Amino acid sequence: MTGAEGNQGQPGIAGLLISHRGVFWGGLVLIAIILLAVFGPLITADPVAINPMNRLKPPGIEGLFGTDMLGRDVFSRVLNGARVSLTVGTAVALISVLVGLTLGLIAGYVRALDAVIMRVMDGLMSIPAILLAIAMISLAGATLTTVVVAIVIPEIPRVVRLVRSVVLTVREEPYVEAAIASGTRTLQIMVRHILPNTIAPLIVQATYICGSAMLLEAILGFLGAGIPPEIPSWGNIMSEGRTFFQLTPWIIFFPGLALALTVLAVNFVGDGLRDTLDPRIARTM
Amino acid sequence: MTAVLEIRGLTVSLPEDGDREFAIEDVSLSVEPGEIVCVVGESGSGKSVTAFTVMGLLDPRALTPVAGSVRLEGEDLLTLPDKRLRALRGERMSMIFQEPMTALNPVVRVGAQIAEMLEIHTRLSPTERRARVLAALADVQLPEPERLADCYPHQLSGGQRQRIMIAMALALEPALLIADEPTTALDVTTQARILQLIKDLQSSRGMGVLFITHDFGVVAEIADRVVVMQDGRVVEQGTVAEVLHAPSHPYTRLLIDAVPSMTPPERAEATGEEALSTAGLDKRFGTAGLFGGGRVVQAAKDISLTLRRGETLGIVGESGSGKSTVARCIMRLVDPTSGEILINGTDIAGMKQGSLRNLRHQIQIVFQDPYRSLNPRRTVGKSIVEGPMNFGVAEDEAWRRARELIEIVGLSADTLDRFPHQFSGGQRQRICIARALAMEPVILIADEAVSALDVSVQAQVLRLLDDVRRKFSLAMLFITHDLRVAAQICDRIMVMQHGKLVEQGPTAAVYANPSEQYTRDLLAAAPGQSRLPD
């Protein structure tokens, strides 16, 4: 009998990821957007500086994306908006994964709490995300934190369900029972034997959450329920440009394009991660 | 008279990254009408690839026949167009599989599944099809064909499902039936009946049967001729009498010798101190519903046993008999409903998990499935030292002990840094035994620990278990469905059925003079007793 010496000569996870076309192009676009968001505002014009002389200028040499009705530079505003979107996307993905992971592990492993946690999650899932966000923001005021929390809450149940389902299958594995039988404490069993199995699906889920959080943030901004107008975000730029749409479509076009490109790039990376890390799910989707 | 099936020099290539160049190489065999040819071999021997090539069911991206011919009643299947091949499948040759639950469509009534075959291959009217389906069900000796035809697969037992598969395969009276381990997933008593059925149908219809199996007991029971395969090649073929009684190839002899004898060896009575005992152990699953509508399964009822140090107690029974439930209760992986479990005099049946933890090291278990018993993400060494370190053994001391134990179970110390996927099933089971021993237990439970292994490996692991039992004076609880294995390793035997203890006693006495009918049935059902040399 020959042993299964499987891994020899195969590229590692990193190699596989780069050779995936979606991850490559999505990643490239995403890195470009992140770099622009981080360093762009350092060199472009002040995004909130009003210049009525220069209002509603079409895209040109002076302002790459033109100016809006108050004469503010749209290019600079879009770059600043990217900061908001990326912050919200990342923060929502991180927080909802962390909270969801904890709750999911508990629900999957502690039988007594399973029903309680899952019924609460069912309840959360029945509340429309936008409505909850609007309600929270009108109660607690429109700050970045409120927006993030408002978007996190409806995302948590999905993560909890995912983690719980993984835990429920893994906890029946003989190697987990062997660990119980050798006196391993519950917390260690979760960390050593169960948690690693949830990482791959969670990373994939996190990218989807990141994309949909950015979309939701833009929708809230567009509805006037998001980040306050002093901070430019793609949603509120588009919202403000709405009245002049027929006259000056660039005010809406560029932030819209930026949003679409970013979400698309994030989703491409997510698909690639799914194909690479979780081939079993990839086949069924 | 032409042979039903004639395979000549068949070679099937493996993809480039496979562990050998060819899945099967230069395989030649033939099946005459009215003959059962058994292809025997261990996992990876290429026996299933051979069967799948005949049916044309290979995945063309992975496995391609590169040389040789496969003739079914004179027609070379490898060169036939797909259309003709589809017509031949079902009409002239058909196949039954190991796992009847997955081979049947779970959402279609079984009668309709058989009727579909007739619809594709014949021009019968729906009423005529129905009549043929009922006749086919009656042929495989299923009771109440009318009712069973309208059942879904999950409503039937494993044995009934396999009969449905056989009925479907034989509905069009093919010349060749290929059976790929058709009884491996079944209980012994069911296996005996299915084997008898295949034999009866084969002789009454005069068809040829190509029977794939890993079990020499089954070979002895059913075969006319035997083909032995190893690593993709045919190493020996001949009539069953020749192969069983005068095997010419050393590998064949190895396989036959590895089949445990049904005669228990003489064993001295164990006199060690009592390590484990249970009294009135009950386990019920499910709860009575609020309005009495709940379903309760009594998995173990009033089980009382005692086990001494240095002794091996076997619990045998068929699937669903509750033998694993007993083991899991004793391990406290499930909580018993009532009763006592005494370990060195301490009752652990109702103990809280916290205080139970301190006693965990005294009792260890080795599971059935070697592929799921080790965490695939942790090195073997880490899996072994986990337990002792839970009990405060210093890290270097734990590793020193792990190196010692891994050599005791027959592997080298440098294997500790490897991951489970780099080992074969038998090696993994050795690692699991080392992991259990690392805890310095008093009691070792082996829950079907050798059932998933090839016979030759099985014999080695059994010997290892017996060695460590003696070396560490362990009290061993050995759970198995295989009466041959139980005969060889157990000092005493308990027979379980439907959660109840049917019979118990010293192994030799139970095998020689079973007092209960059920025990007699079980013993009689073990395949190949009359023809296998002891």
CATH of the domain at A184: 1.10.3720.10
Averaged pLDDT for residues B283-293: 68
pLDDT given for residue B294 in this prediction: 63
Residue % of chain A over a pLDDT of 70? 93
Would the CB atoms of B360 and A196 count as touching at under 8 Å?
no
pLDDT value of residue B534: 55
Q: CA-CA distance, A96 to A154, in Å (whole number)?
A: 9
CA–CA dist B312, B490 (Å, integer): 5
| Residues A105, A124: Cα–Cα separation, whole Å | 18
Contacts of B486 (CB under 8 A, 6+ apart): B314, B316, B478, B480, B493, B507
Total number of domains in chain A: 1
The answer to whether residue A229 sits within a structural domain is yes
Strand partners, B500: B497
The yes-or-no verdict on residue B110 having pLDDT over 70 is yes
Unique residue bearing structure tokens 């026949």:
B65
Of the listed ranges A180-184, B19-23, B28-32, B261-265, the least confidently predicted one is B19-23
Which residues from chain A sit within 8 angstroms of residue B405, using beta carbons?
Answer: none
Residue range B1-26: mean pLDDT, rounded: 84
Q: Which two tokens stand for residue B207?
A: 């068809």
Overall average pLDDT of the B93-105 stretch? 87
Task: Please list, in sequence order, all residues whose beta carbon lies within 8 angstroms of the beta carbon of residue B246, skipping any fewer than 6 positions away.
Answer: none
Determine, yes or no, domain membership for A3: no
Chain A positions touching chain B (beta carbons under 8 Å) = 1-6, 9, 173-175, 177-185, 188, 192-193, 196
Structural domain boundaries enclosing A79: 35-47+63-284
Decide if A1 and B375 are in contact by the 8 Å CB cutoff.
Answer: no
A81-101, pLDDT tens digit by residue?
A: 999 999 999 999 999 999 999
Distance of residue A102 Cα from the nearest chain B Cα, in angstroms: 21
The Cα–Cα gap between B148 and A157 comes to 44
CB A219 within 8 A of CB A147: no
- Evaluate whether A198 touches A163 at the Cβ level (below 8 Å): yes
Q: Express each pLDDT in B175-227 by its tens digit.
A: 999 999 888 888 888 888 899 999 999 988 889 999 999 888 899 889 999 99
Indicate whether this complex's ipTM tops 0.90. no
The whole-number pLDDT of residue B100 equals 79
Q: List pLDDT tens digits, range A173-186.
A: 999 999 999 989 98
Give B312 to chain A, closest Cα distance, Å. 20
The pLDDT assigned to A8 comes to 39
DSSP string, A120-180: HHHHHHTS-HHHHHHHHHHHH-S-HHHHHHHHHHHHHHHHHHHHHHHHHHHTTSHHHHHHH
Q: At A57, phi and psi to the nearest 5?
A: -80, 135
How many CB atoms within 10 Å of residue B477? 28
Distance CA A150, CA A208 (A): 17
Instruction: Compute the mean pLDDT over every residue in chain A, rounded to the nearest whole number.
Output: 85
**At the top level of CATH, which class does the domain B277-286+299-525 belong to?**
alpha beta
Mean pLDDT of B391-417: 92
**Set of chain B residues whose Cβ sits within 8 Å of the Cβ of A3:** 422-424, 427
Q: With respect to residue A222, please indicate whether it lies within any of the assigned structural domains.
A: yes
- Tell me which chain B residues have a C-beta less than 8 angstroms from the C-beta of A179: 375, 386
- A109, A195 contact by CB (below 8 A): no
CA B45 to CA B226: how far, in whole Å?
15
Separation CA B23–CA B66 (nearest Å): 11
Residue of B nearest to A188 (CA): B390
Domain boundaries, chain B: 106-173, 277-286+299-525
Q: Mind telling me how many Å the CA of A188 is from chain B's nearest CA? A: 10
Interface test with B, best of A1, A172, A182, A184 (most B CBs within 10 A): A182
Q: How confident is the model over B3-24, as a mean pLDDT? A: 85
Confidence of residue A4 (pLDDT cuts 50, 70, 90): very low
What's the average model confidence in pLDDT over B478-504? 92
Residue B482 phi, psi (nearest 5): -100, 110
Express each pLDDT in B113-159 by its tens digit: 999 989 989 889 999 999 999 999 998 888 888 998 999 988 888 88
User: To probe the interface with A, which of B386, B423, B448 has the most A CB atoms within 10 Å?
Assistant: B386
Chain B closest CA to A210's CA: distance in Å? 28
Confidence of residue A259 (pLDDT cuts 50, 70, 90): very high
Residue B416, min C-alpha distance to chain A (Å)? 15
* Cβ-based contacts of B370 with chain A (< 8 Å): none
Residue A27 counted as domain residue:
no
Closest residue to A175, CB basis, from B333, B375, B423: B375
pTM of the shown model: 0.83
Average pLDDT of the segment spanning A116-136: 89
Task: Find, in chain A, the residue whose alpha carbon is nearest to that of B437.
Answer: A182
Per-residue HEC secondary structure of B128-164 comes to HHHHHHHHHHHHCCCCCHHHHCCCCHHHCCHHHHHHH
The stretch A220-235 carries a mean pLDDT of 87
Q: How far, CA to CA in Å, does B244 sit from each of A9, A19, B162, B192, B248?
A: 44, 55, 28, 20, 10
**Residue A197 within any structural domain of the chain:** yes
Name the interface residues of B facing A (CB cutoff 8 Å). Answer: 17, 19-20, 44, 331, 333, 357-358, 360-361, 363-365, 367-369, 372-375, 377-378, 383, 386-387, 390-391, 421-424, 426-427, 432, 435, 439, 457
pLDDT at residue B399, rounded to an integer? 95
**Rounded Cα–Cα distance for residues A240 and A236 (Å):** 6
> What pLDDT, on a 0 to 100 scale, did the predictor assign at position A156?
94
- CA closest to B355 among chain A residues: A183
| CA atoms lying within 13 Å on the CB side of residue B417 | 1
- Compare B481 and A285 and report the one with higher pLDDT: B481
Output the pLDDT for position B304: 93
What do you get for the CA distance between the two ends of chain A, in Å?
36
Check pLDDT > 80 for residue B66. yes
Cβ burial of A283 (10 Å; 0-12, 13-18, 19+) is exposed
DSSP string, B214-278: S-HHHHHHH-SEEEEEETTEEEEEEEHHHHHHS--SHHHHHHHHHSPPSSPPP-PPP-SPEEEEE
What pLDDT score does B71 carry? Answer: 92
Rg (CA), chain A: 23
Cβ <8 Å between B357 and A179: no
State the pLDDT at residue B527.
83
pLDDT of residue B103: 86
Q: Token pair for residue B184?
A: 């491996």
| Structural domain contains residue A26 | no
pLDDT tens digits, B326-362: 999 999 998 999 999 999 888 998 888 888 888 899 9
- Please name the residues in contact with A223: beta carbons below 8 A apart, sequence gap of 6 or more: A130, A134, A235, A239
Task: Give the range among A217-221, B99-103, B129-133, B353-357 with minimum mean pLDDT.
Answer: B99-103
Point out the residue among A2, A9, A182 whose CB comes nearest to the CB of B390: A182
**Of A4, A6, A174, which is closest to B369 when you measure between CB atoms?**
A174
A-B interface: how many C-beta pairs under 8 angstroms?
Answer: 79
For chain B, the maximum distance between any two Cα atoms, rounded to a whole number of angstroms, is 77
